[in-house]
A = this chain, B = another copy of it.
Amino acid sequence: MPTIKDIAKAAGVSPASVSRVINNGPKVGAKTREKIKRIMGEMEYQPNANAQAINVQNNASIGIVLADLTDPLFAKMAHGIEKVAAQKDLQIFLNSGAFDQTSELNAIEVLLEHRYKALVVHSAMIDDKTLIEFARKVPGLVLLNRHIKEIESRCIWLDDKAGGGLMAEHIVEQGHKKIAIIAVDGIQNNTRHRIEGMKAQLAKYPVHYQIEVLEQGAATYEGGEVAVQNLLARGVEFSAILAYNDAIAVGAVSMLKAHGLSVPDDVSVVGFNNLILAQCMKPKLTTIHNPIEEMAMKATELALRLSKGEGTDVASFSIEEHQYTPELVIRQSVKRID
């Protein structure tokens, strides 16, 4: 594999000139430039990005850490990041953390070692303290889908409390009085926030509710089935289910049907995220829209800006820019009862 020196030698010029041509720099005569280009083509020269990176302080690419690509919600994140990267002609170095703390930490570490300046991190398992430290150390690091008060100007997150409130409010307004909530265990705060939001709403009305907590990682279709199974086995009475996400909701619907219960006639169900899945299923799922793709784009732009040393002024922080608002999407899985 030829180097810049080989090209220089072959073209009878200095490495400096070749470098200029590679970078489309000025100060190269037209004929020389042509000649060098020709030779580069002939010798199939391919720049060594590592060698370049060592000289230039500014690594233009952006690094991202994602928990699990298999989750469509996270795939949407990736897509959002990708969109702004493409539009700015930047590369993405993706490092997936497989939902365990060590590998998430490792993923960040690797990105740092490669000197990526702009980092978008979606961490589910790393604790606040560690992340705060990273944020202090790395100016271009932005946390996506997570809210840590101490560094909130470096976070882009969803107002989960409002989301939970929306779900509860809707269901109560439709006359439901016995409600089952399917939550998920884990370090992530969003479950907790959503529950808080629900409780705050529900407390205003004379209703009963029961929370079924799935174990970490069970926020899936199967998890939804299990949860309903449990609920039914325990003899819990409910006319509505508030699910942590769409997949759970769909699983719940399936298991309800298996037990001869129809949705929404016997039981109403509300999901969360508003993935394609929610539109595809029958009945179409009433859910909460999660603008995760926009959020991802925002996070990427923020990371890029911060990595260039722009906009660090704490004064200009406005929560509206960092906290996104979920929205209720009414479809067909909730029925009014009296």
- Residue numbers of A with Cβ under 8 A of B are 44, 46-51, 53-54, 68-70, 72, 75-76, 78-79, 82, 86, 91-96, 98, 103, 109-110, 112-115, 137, 221, 247, 250-251, 254, 257, 276-277, 279-282
Contact = CB atoms under 8 A, between A and B. Distances in A.
A275 to B, nearest CB: 10
Contacts of A69: 69, 75, 78-79, 82
A140 to B, nearest CB: 13
A247 B279 CA distance: 11
Contact of A50 (B50, B78, B96, B277): B50
Nearest to A47: B113
18 contacts: A46-B113, A49-B114, A49-B115, A50-B50, A50-B53, A50-B114, A50-B115, A54-B54, A69-B69, A70-B76, A86-B103, A93-B93, A250-B280, A254-B282, A277-B277, A280-B280, A280-B281, A282-B282
Contact of A221 (B78, B247, B280): B280
A98 B206 CA distance: 51
Given A54-B48, A221-B280, A250-B280, A96 B82 contact: yes
A78 B82 CA distance: 15
A75 B221 CA distance: 17
Given A75-B72, A82-B96, A91-B110, A221 B279 contact: yes
Contacts of A50: 50-51, 53-54, 114-115
A115 B49 CA distance: 8
Contacts of A98: 82, 86
A251 to B, nearest CB: 8
User: Lowest 3 CB-CB distances: which A-B pairs, in order?
Assistant: A94-B94, A50-B53, A49-B113
Contact of A75 (B47, B53, B75, B114): B75
A221 B284 CA distance: 13
Contacts of A92: 94-96
Given A82-B98, A93-B94, 14 more contacts: A46-B109, A49-B115, A50-B54, A50-B115, A69-B79, A70-B79, A91-B95, A93-B93, A221-B279, A221-B280, A247-B280, A250-B280, A251-B280, A281-B281
Nearest to A56: B50
Contacts of A96: 78, 82, 92
Contacts of A281: 280-282
A264 B142 CA distance: 49
Contacts of A75: 69-70, 72, 75
Nearest to A103: B86
A247 B276 CA distance: 10
Nearest to A284: B254
